Amino acid sequence: MGKTRIALLGFGTVGTGVWNILSTSKGEIEANIGEEIEIAKILVKNIGKRRRVEVPPGILTTDFEEILKDTSIKVIVEVIGGMEPTLDYIKMALESGRHVVTANKLLISKFGSEILRLAAENSVNLRYEASVCGGIPLINVIKESLSVERINEVAGILNGTTNYILSKMTDEGCSFETALAEAQAKGFAEADPTSDVEGFDALYKLRILSKLVFGVETNEDLIFREGITNITKDDISHAKELGYKIKLLAAAKRSMDKIVLRVAPTLVPEKHFLAGVGDCFNAVFLKGAAVGELIFYGKGAGELPTGSAVVSDIVGILRNKSTGQKDRKSTVDISCQTTEWSKSKYFVRFSMNNKTYDIQKLISVFESGNSRVSKMLKVEEAAKTSNVLLIISEADTLELRKALAKLEATFESVKGLRVLRVEDFEAEEFNPQILDAGNL
Amino acid sequence: MGKTRIALLGFGTVGTGVWNILSTSKGEIEANIGEEIEIAKILVKNIGKRRRVEVPPGILTTDFEEILKDTSIKVIVEVIGGMEPTLDYIKMALESGRHVVTANKLLISKFGSEILRLAAENSVNLRYEASVCGGIPLINVIKESLSVERINEVAGILNGTTNYILSKMTDEGCSFETALAEAQAKGFAEADPTSDVEGFDALYKLRILSKLVFGVETNEDLIFREGITNITKDDISHAKELGYKIKLLAAAKRSMDKIVLRVAPTLVPEKHFLAGVGDCFNAVFLKGAAVGELIFYGKGAGELPTGSAVVSDIVGILRNKSTGQKDRKSTVDISCQTTEWSKSKYFVRFSMNNKTYDIQKLISVFESGNSRVSKMLKVEEAAKTSNVLLIISEADTLELRKALAKLEATFESVKGLRVLRVEDFEAEEFNPQILDAGNL
């Protein structure tokens, strides 16, 4: 039986997962590809560091050149993360004729097209299943099974850390700060949580998915991004009153010849699958012209789930040495559009004095500005004030901004104005429903 | 640009879907595989029949030999269904060196191994993505991305018709008969619904999945199968009282060196993803050793979803002409076991006279026979009688049968005994919880 020698760059969580899976699934792998996979070298920063797994002496190295020079190594697996020095390593690996597997979302998001071109020029494969939603076999599904499906929408919970935080806040009624601290204590969030909680991580993944399903490069600057740091317990409980849960949703939608992309805390109907995605789980919703709605759910991170995606890529390359996966190219001219001009559904909340509350006048403030109100709920909060919760069924950002200015001008007592996006995942017919709990 | 000529056997719902997708996605397909796909011949029963789509005169034929003799046809797509004459057609197609795509679950379930061997002997591909869960790209995911994952469990809602009926009964409180009649009126159920409502359709699909994930052939006679024809409104409302929904679940689980398979109406926790699968949708749950839990959700039937799976297989074959997909072979010796001897979780319901109700005595009847009671709920029904609802956390069928006989012998007033299976999808710790609503 033959043997393929591979090298790991990095030996942290994901690298350890790859090592463990290749050891425990030896039988399955040999039966499947008809050869053995041997990890010949592992690039680390510190050879002497104590590790959770024991590796044969001599396979650890701090010198990338040593790996590059070993021509018996056919596949190089990058699980270091970040841009420096990984981008150079990957380029050198591809240029030297090695297949590359990477779990690096930042790198693929920013330099995917460039390094995929480099792979093609050198007749080698570059796979990156683990870069989006860890263990969910999403990228290869889009490239293989859905390769000719016309996908019009992709939306999902792409970041496990923020989903853990929001689930915690929803289920236990705790604050963002408390939930974040717990996520950090459990190792789900990093000491500096910026990339997760501000939506950067989800944005990188959305760009990768969006390139895959629409076949076009998107301009990162045109993607609307809002994190979850401002989400309060009140937001969550008010969303619940209207039948919604708040999720950090990354969404890309085709609208005529444009794609609109955004990452934002979003109200999702409580009964929708995505609302049921708890803990650190990830889920992705796709809508295809023929196939209809598809949802993929699984673990987005962790040693073994992410490791399994990396191993699946290694096996995929070894099974299909001759055939590189082709990336989709759009057959029509579509481009990325800023969300500023696109229509969306919104949740609006404010408190006001009961005396000045006038349902018809409130609705007309919004509707005169083309923001259609589809649900309204008044919840008495104290003796004199009420919370007003509205679902605006359709408005563009500028129209809505004007309506909100008019609202504050018309009703002096309006306070604590809060606006969040809503995603119902269906072409809902306009069917106004005015719920005035205060009068029930 | 080259052109691949293919033939369709059958031009019903799925065949029409394939025709429509190949027409509308022409651009995507050409960009993807670098050639055109032309439907050169379509085998039909009646050439003169009025059809929803117009096809060029001359491509319809009633003679399979005409297709077989046309050596310019490289791929034959079987969308007739049933065993006769499809099995012969597929064998002849493979023996004559044609790649075959089929949507036929009955055929793959019963003769999959035989015709896959025939395909391998003739160095052609046989693909059958559409045979299980229509549009969900499940089979190719298991064969490609999860090819070396050690899967320990697969369970799902594999039949859309029964899911429509059960959802209707749950949401609208109607009877099985009413829901079935509506499913028939909407075209979701056939005039003779036996295959769907008695669980045969789900069983065929479960056998296909089980062969794929465990790599072993299962003995159809050892698979427990129970349909939904006996499910009543009471079953559904009582399940709800304990926090469950009833779904027709097809499940296969690895237990040491055995696989246990069953198709049965099953109580699924209301909060679990599978409980949220409504309408005719399908969903499949997989549990892998490394990847953890995965769920795939989508449309299990219909012209376009099923057509899209067929087209995806055609494209898959044309992109990877040289490399046949390998089926998994188990690396350990596992075999199929009847559920009769295996442990499961159960829901038990009966009514009894309030006077004879004795909580400790009831529990001891079950526990003395090794059936552990984890939940018990007494709901007073009338002046003198109560419904008793129990969750048995673990029992094998024979132990439970004995306990139920003892129950009826001990309590004369016990009536309307009803037993259904429960699936919690997790290794629940034993944590008894006695809810006696009658005493609250």
Kindly report the CATH number assigned to the domain that includes residue A65: 3.40.50.720
Handedness of CA A126, A127, A131, A132 (dihedral sign): positive
Of B25, B293, B297, the CB nearest to A150: B25
CA A41 to mean position of chain CA atoms: 32
Assigned domain for B108 exists: yes
Tens of pLDDT, residues A82-93? 999 999 999 999
- Which strands sit side by side in the sheet containing A60-61, from one edge to the other? A60-61, A35-43, A2-9, A73-78, A99-102, A126-127
User: Quick one: average pLDDT of B28-49?
Assistant: 92
User: Quick one: average pLDDT of A315-325?
Assistant: 72
Query: Distance, in angstroms, between B363 CA and closest chain A CA?
Result: 33
pLDDT of res. A329: 67
B62 and B96 in a single domain? The answer is yes
A114 and A158 in a single domain? The answer is no
Give the number of A-B residue pairs with CB atoms closer than 8 Å: 189
B349 and B286 in a single domain? The answer is no
Tens of pLDDT, residues B221-280? 888 999 999 999 999 999 999 999 999 999 999 877 788 899 999 999 998 999 999 999
> A305, B319: Cβ pair inside 8 Å?
no
pLDDT of res. A268: 96
What residues contact residue B16 under an 8 Å CB cut-off, 6+ apart?
Answer: B51, B52, B53, B303, B307
pLDDT of res. B84: 93
Of A297, A320, A322, the CB nearest to B294: A297
Tokens of B168: 């209707």
What is the rounded distance in angstroms from the CA atom of residue B151 to the CA atom of residue B160? 24
Tokens of A326: 């082709």
**pLDDT surpasses 90 at B343:** no
**pLDDT surpasses 50 at A60:** yes
What is the rounded distance in angstroms from the CA atom of residue B52 to the CA atom of residue A16? 57
Assigned domain for A421 exists: yes
A146 and A280 in a single domain? The answer is yes
- A residues 285-314 lying closer than 8 A (beta carbon) to B: 288-299, 302, 304-305, 307-309, 311-312
pLDDT of res. B326: 61
Query: Distance, in angstroms, between B388 CA and closest chain A CA?
Result: 30
User: Quick one: average pLDDT of B380-390?
Assistant: 87
Decide: helix, strand or coil at residue B293: strand
> A290, B296: Cβ pair inside 8 Å?
no
Which residue in A168, A205, A211, A345 is the catalytic one?
A205
Average pLDDT along chain B: 90
Please, where are the H alpha helices in B52-199? 64-69, 86-95, 105-121, 138-143, 160-172, 176-185, 194-197
Tens of pLDDT, residues A393-418? 888 888 899 999 999 999 999 999 99
Decide: helix, strand or coil at residue B27: helix
What is the rounded distance in angstroms from the CA atom of residue A169 to the CA atom of residue A250? 19
Of the residues B81, B101, B127, which one is the last residue of a structural domain? B127
Tokens of A218: 């998107």
Closest-approach residue (CA) in chain B for A330:
B28
Lowest pLDDT segment from A142-151, A152-161, A207-216, A362-371: A362-371
What is the rounded distance in angstroms from the CA atom of residue B187 to the CA atom of residue B302? 10
pLDDT of res. A281: 95
User: Quick one: average pLDDT of B12-28?
Assistant: 93
Assigned domain for A418 exists: yes
| DSSP E strand stretches across A148-243 | 151-157, 224-225
What is the rounded distance in angstroms from the CA atom of residue B159 to the CA atom of residue B177? 18
Of A149, A296, A322, the CB nearest to B322: A322
> A291, B276: Cβ pair inside 8 Å?
no
Ordered DSSP codes for A401-429:
HHHHHHHHHH-TT-EEEEEEEE--SS---
Mutate to test the interface with A, among B4, B148, B149 (most CBs of A within 10 A): B148
What is the rounded distance in angstroms from the CA atom of residue A245 to the CA atom of residue A224? 20
Q: Which amino acid is at B307?
A: G
User: Quick one: average pLDDT of B289-312?
Assistant: 95
B145 neighbourhood in chain A, CB within 8 Å: 129, 137, 140-141, 309, 312, 316
Phi, psi for residue B346 in degrees, rounded to 5: -130, 155
Of A135, A329, A331, the CB nearest to B294: A135
B268 and B351 in a single domain? The answer is no
Ordered DSSP codes for A277-299:
--TTEEEEEEEETTTEEEEEEEE
Assigned domain for B7 exists: yes
B140 neighbourhood in chain A, CB within 8 Å: 141, 144-145
pLDDT of res. B414: 94
pLDDT of res. B337: 66
Are B124 and B287 within 8 A, CB to CB? no
How, if at all, do strands B385-396 and A433-435 pair?
Answer: unpaired
pLDDT of res. A82: 93
Of A17, A148, A322, the CB nearest to B28: A148
B59 and B204 in a single domain? The answer is no
Instruction: Find the angle CA(A37)-CA(A23)-CA(A45) to the nearest 5 degrees.
Output: 85
CA B435 to mean position of chain CA atoms: 34
Tokens of B386: 């109560």
The residues of B that are catalytic are 205
Whether the CB of B333 is below 8 Å from some CB of chain A: the reply is no
User: Quick one: average pLDDT of A36-49?
Assistant: 95
Q: What is the CATH number for A246?
A: 3.30.360.10
Lowest pLDDT segment from A52-66, A109-123, A195-209, B354-368: B354-368
> A137, B150: Cβ pair inside 8 Å?
no
What is the rounded distance in angstroms from the CA atom of residue B436 to the CA atom of residue B425? 25
**pLDDT surpasses 90 at B311:** yes
Assigned domain for B323 exists: no
Closest-approach residue (CA) in chain B for A17:
B290
CA B132 to mean position of chain CA atoms: 7
**pLDDT surpasses 50 at A435:** no
B160 neighbourhood in chain A, CB within 8 Å: none
Half-sphere exposure of B174 (CA within 13 A, CB side): 15
**pLDDT surpasses 80 at A437:** no
What is the rounded distance in angstroms from the CA atom of residue B287 to the CA atom of residue B209? 13
Assigned domain for A133 exists: no
Whether the CB of B328 is below 8 Å from some CB of chain A: the reply is yes
Of chain B, the percentage scoring pLDDT greater than 70 comes to 92
Q: Which amino acid is at A290?
A: A
Residue B344 DSSP class: E
Residue among B298, B293, B151 nearest A300 (CA): B293
Closest-approach residue (CA) in chain A for B25:
A148
Lowest pLDDT segment from A291-295, B49-53, B178-182: B49-53
pLDDT of res. B370: 80
Lowest pLDDT segment from A334-348, B97-111, B163-177, B195-209: A334-348
Half-sphere exposure of B356 (CA within 13 A, CB side): 16
What is the rounded distance in angstroms from the CA atom of residue B422 to the CA atom of residue B238? 13
Q: What is the CATH number for B408?
A: 3.30.70.1150
Q: Answer yes or no: A110 catalytic.
A: no
Q: At what angle do helices A86-95 and A105-121 cross, to 10 degrees?
A: 20
Half-sphere exposure of B307 (CA within 13 A, CB side): 25
Band of residue A324 on the pLDDT scale cut at 50, 70, 90: low
Tens of pLDDT, residues B158-174? 999 999 999 999 999 99
A205 and A271 in a single domain? The answer is yes
**pLDDT surpasses 60 at A433:** no
Tens of pLDDT, residues B264-297? 999 999 989 999 999 999 999 999 999 999 999 9
Decide: helix, strand or coil at residue A22: helix
Burial of B399 (0-12, 13-18, 19+ CB in 10 A): middle
Assigned domain for B307 exists: no
Of chain A, the percentage scoring pLDDT greater than 70 comes to 92
A46 and A76 in a single domain? The answer is yes
Domain count, chain A: 3
> B290, A276: Cβ pair inside 8 Å?
no
pLDDT of res. B428: 36
Assigned domain for B187 exists: yes
Tens of pLDDT, residues A338-358? 665 578 899 999 999 999 998
> B298, A276: Cβ pair inside 8 Å?
no
> A145, B147: Cβ pair inside 8 Å?
no
pTM: 0.92
- A residues 343-402 lying closer than 8 A (beta carbon) to B: none
What is the rounded distance in angstroms from the CA atom of residue A90 to the CA atom of residue A70? 15
B156 and B123 in a single domain? The answer is no
Tokens of B32: 């993807």
**pLDDT surpasses 70 at A440:** no
Query: Distance, in angstroms, between A350 CA and closest chain B CA?
Result: 31
Phi, psi for residue A265 in degrees, rounded to 5: -65, 130
B223 and B110 in a single domain? The answer is no
Are A206 and A250 within 8 A, CB to CB? yes
What residues contact residue A238 under an 8 Å CB cut-off, 6+ apart?
Answer: A347, A349, A379, A387, A389
User: Quick one: average pLDDT of A353-379?
Assistant: 88
B95 and B9 in a single domain? The answer is yes
Of the residues B66, B99, B127, which one is the last residue of a structural domain? B127
Average pLDDT along chain A: 90
Q: At what angle do helices A13-24 and A303-319 cross, to 10 degrees?
A: 60
> A144, B146: Cβ pair inside 8 Å?
no
Domain region containing B111: 2-127
Residue among B154, B144, B137 nearest A286 (CA): B137
Query: Distance, in angstroms, between B252 CA and closest chain A CA?
Result: 19
Which residues are registered as beta bridge partners of B124?
none
Whether the CB of A269 is below 8 Å from some CB of chain B: the reply is no
Whether the CB of A250 is below 8 Å from some CB of chain B: the reply is no
What is the rounded distance in angstroms from the CA atom of residue B49 to the CA atom of residue B98? 28
Handedness of CA A93, A97, A98, A101 (dihedral sign): positive
Band of residue B340 on the pLDDT scale cut at 50, 70, 90: low
**pLDDT surpasses 80 at A68:** yes
Ordered DSSP codes for A335-382:
EEE-GGGSEEEEEEEEEEEGGG--HHHHHHHHHTTT-EEEEEEEEE-S
Phi, psi for residue A142 in degrees, rounded to 5: -65, -40
pLDDT of res. A427: 47
Residue among A430, A414, A412, A411 nearest A371 (CA): A430
**pLDDT surpasses 50 at B437:** no
What is the rounded distance in angstroms from the CA atom of residue A176 to the CA atom of residue A194? 13
Of A145, A304, A315, the CB nearest to B147: A315
- B residues 124-183 lying closer than 8 A (beta carbon) to A: 129, 135-137, 140-141, 144-150
Of the residues B127, B150, B165, which one is the last residue of a structural domain? B127
Of A28, A144, A329, the CB nearest to B316: A144
What is the rounded distance in angstroms from the CA atom of residue A398 to the CA atom of residue A438? 31
Lowest pLDDT segment from A252-256, A329-333, B161-165: A329-333
B22 neighbourhood in chain A, CB within 8 Å: none
Q: Which amino acid is at A358?
A: D
Residue among A225, A274, A240, A242 nearest A373 (CA): A242
A392 and A431 in a single domain? The answer is yes
